[in-house]
A and B are shown apart, each in its own frame.
Chain A
């Protein structure tokens, strides 16, 4: 192809800029007494899944504080240098507290926080902190234990299909808690895991679900974000569990229940702390999960209603949930065997929070295969 060398791009740029600089725009002044809260989202909130749960929490914040807060969110921010730019811009725009809602924002949050010592930062699911960066996380694995109990009681083929995203501690904790719950009621049931290698990929998730069903699984669980698995289950007439938000609408007959992330109370508590001048990174132990790592007991993790299951199963599920809430069942309490039969946690010992992040490099009994990587 023949293309003349020319410098018209300089012309384009100059024209575009000069035309627009001429436009004067009045930016609306913000009431100074309002607390400005910024949110950084990994995806578009949509109507389900991880980011949607954060969006629900943001709306909770607005409802709770009314005119005392002004919230801003930025969606679809990739977990790379762009996130640093977006976080920095939010800080420059006068946000007083900024929630960065995905693990991959960790180092960028820390970096930007150094430049804005007067702004508070809240990083979700990370393990690095600094004087103005706190971390918050939910004990997602608690819900998965209850899922395991329900799966163990419901399955007829004794085959459970599990969709996993990435082999990071949170996901391994979830798989193992599921396995412990499963084996607490059904010593014969087995879980096979398919790694989708994505948090959100409806096509891959649906394909993986089909593979599980073809291999005889009659209960499906997921640590991925789309409702595709449940929709596949609905069509095939099997059951499954939803993730992050209540996915009943996508699979009214297939969903047993969803583990719903409820970030609202956390956001409200931290913003209130800031308004009172009492914000801190927390008194909790300085471990990976964050200063705030709570779950069902504090309603940070909520189970949607138990449905599509016999009454006795629903009762057992409610009991399992109650035992976790009351602290009676700590889930990772010995004896815990790995799937080769070796005892990894002796009887009487309970893994502490740190160990949940550093020592789980195996699958417990009932989970087939081994952790990739």
Chain B
């Protein structure tokens, strides 16, 4: 019989060992899969993990790919820490893109100094608005936020689809579903460093993402708000005795997650697309859930988790180009990587022992 007892204290050695073992097992399974499919295992691993980040511009692109994941996951960490299961970040991200798009399309003549902050603000408001629907319904009617937020994702996706095919369509797009391009002031520029120049597509939004994650880490570990969130997540009754208002915490974390997701939507569109199109998010809102858990619900960890997930994505594309490896194989490998890392967490948090089922002693009456 396997028995699992939660560890009171996780030793540092274990914290370092489990991910190392997880990575090793992933590589071992990867070698087996690639070998069985007739690819050279070491070439495959190299192509997957090293080749996609072997040039400075590729490292820039890695951060660009991770950017919406980091921002969205940082917000989600707050929700999940408070045991509020916001699965609808994808929809909130789309609404951030819509709100900021409205600003960018209606005030193209504003200078960047005012347009950019207005777009950022609008995107945060947009994401919050969309997140408030499941939040308020939960607080008022005790609805299930998992279902409501998830379903609203599809509503958001169809809404932006309707906008860009209908009222917001660029009349010069010959009927194709695209809005006008944003004016230059509405575009997030690439970072142009003095000596290095530009690094791939690395843009200022990435800096924002990193700052946001650090700020998130600070709020969660060093402020009353963060303390409240953690208490309400771990021991809601204790929180109530301490006078914390559970509804306010729910609304607060949903607002933080919605606002962050909205911001991610704005940055993604403004830095990488330059206009609204029927699809502005490619599952970032859902992938961010994995990122948040991979990071063990720690905003600083989100940065690394976001980069790892992004690298797996980039590696998958790269393996196709360099080795002709089918996308499904790379998908399987990516899945194994995430599975191993998350499964390793079990060994971290629980003490696992093998025990023989004890023979029940027969009680004898006196």
Q: Which residues of A contact B (CB under 8 A)?
A: 1-13, 15-17, 19-21, 23-27, 38, 44, 72-82, 84-86, 89-90, 93, 103-104, 107, 127, 166-169, 172, 197, 288, 357-358, 361, 372-373
Asked if A6 and B45 make an inter-chain contact with CB atoms under 8 angstroms apart, the answer reads: no
Instruction: Tell yes or no: B102 within 8 A of A by CB.
Output: no
Asked if B177 and A168 make an inter-chain contact with CB atoms under 8 angstroms apart, the answer reads: yes
**How far is A77 from B297 in the complex, measured between Cα atoms in Å?**
30
Could you tell me the distance in whole angstroms from the C-beta of B279 to the nearest C-beta in chain A?
A: 6
Could you tell me the distance in whole angstroms from the C-beta of A104 to the nearest C-beta in chain B?
A: 7
Residue from the list A8, A21, A27, A372 in contact with B16, Cβ < 8 A = A8
A72-B321, A81-B268 are contacts. A23–B50 as well, Cβ < 8 Å? yes
Interface centre among B277, B305, B327 (most CB of A within 10 A): B327
Residue from the list B174, B234, B297 in contact with A358, Cβ < 8 A = B174
> In the complex, what residue of chain B is closest to A26 when comparing beta carbons?
B43
Q: Which residues of B contact A (CB under 8 A)?
A: 10, 15-16, 18-20, 22-23, 27, 42-43, 45-47, 49-51, 61, 64-65, 83, 158, 161-162, 165-166, 169, 174-177, 201, 221, 233-234, 268, 272-275, 277-280, 282, 294-298, 300-301, 303-305, 307-308, 314, 317-318, 320-322, 324, 326-328, 341, 349
Which residues of chain B come closer than 8 Å to A72, judged between CB atoms? 321, 324
Could you tell me the distance in whole angstroms from the C-beta of A72 to the nearest C-beta in chain B?
A: 6
Asked if A13 and B307 make an inter-chain contact with CB atoms under 8 angstroms apart, the answer reads: yes
Asked if B282 and A25 make an inter-chain contact with CB atoms under 8 angstroms apart, the answer reads: no
Asked if B322 and A13 make an inter-chain contact with CB atoms under 8 angstroms apart, the answer reads: no
> In the complex, what residue of chain A is closest to B167 when comparing beta carbons?
A373
A5-B298, A357-B175 are contacts. A75–B327 as well, Cβ < 8 Å? yes
Asked if B46 and A75 make an inter-chain contact with CB atoms under 8 angstroms apart, the answer reads: no
**Prevailing SS type, chain B contact patch:** helix
Which residues of chain B come closer than 8 Å to A8, judged between CB atoms? 15-16, 18-19, 296, 301
**How far is A361 from B27 in the complex, measured between Cα atoms in Å?**
55
Which residues of chain B come closer than 8 Å to A4, judged between CB atoms? 10, 15
A–B pairs, 27, beta carbons within 8 Å: A1-B233, A1-B297, A3-B349, A6-B298, A7-B300, A9-B294, A12-B308, A15-B19, A15-B20, A20-B46, A24-B46, A25-B42, A25-B43, A26-B43, A75-B326, A76-B327, A79-B277, A80-B279, A89-B317, A93-B322, A127-B174, A127-B176, A169-B176, A172-B175, A361-B175, A372-B165, A373-B166
Which residues of chain B come closer than 8 Å to A23, judged between CB atoms? 42, 45-46, 50
Which residues of chain A come closer than 8 Å to B341, judged between CB atoms? 12
A8-B16, A8-B19, A373-B166 are contacts. A3–B298 as well, Cβ < 8 Å? yes
Which residues of chain B come closer than 8 Å to A11, judged between CB atoms? 15-16, 19-20
A74-B317, A372-B165 are contacts. A85–B23 as well, Cβ < 8 Å? no
Which residues of chain B come closer than 8 Å to A9, judged between CB atoms? 19, 294-296, 298, 300-301, 303-305, 308
Asked if B318 and A89 make an inter-chain contact with CB atoms under 8 angstroms apart, the answer reads: yes
Residue from the list B46, B169, B221 in contact with A25, Cβ < 8 A = B46
Which residues of chain A come closer than 8 Å to B10, judged between CB atoms? 4, 6
Asked if A81 and B273 make an inter-chain contact with CB atoms under 8 angstroms apart, the answer reads: yes
Asked if A357 and B321 make an inter-chain contact with CB atoms under 8 angstroms apart, the answer reads: no
Could you tell me the distance in whole angstroms from the C-beta of B190 to the nearest C-beta in chain A?
A: 12
Residue from the list A6, A19, A78, A86 in contact with B279, Cβ < 8 A = A78
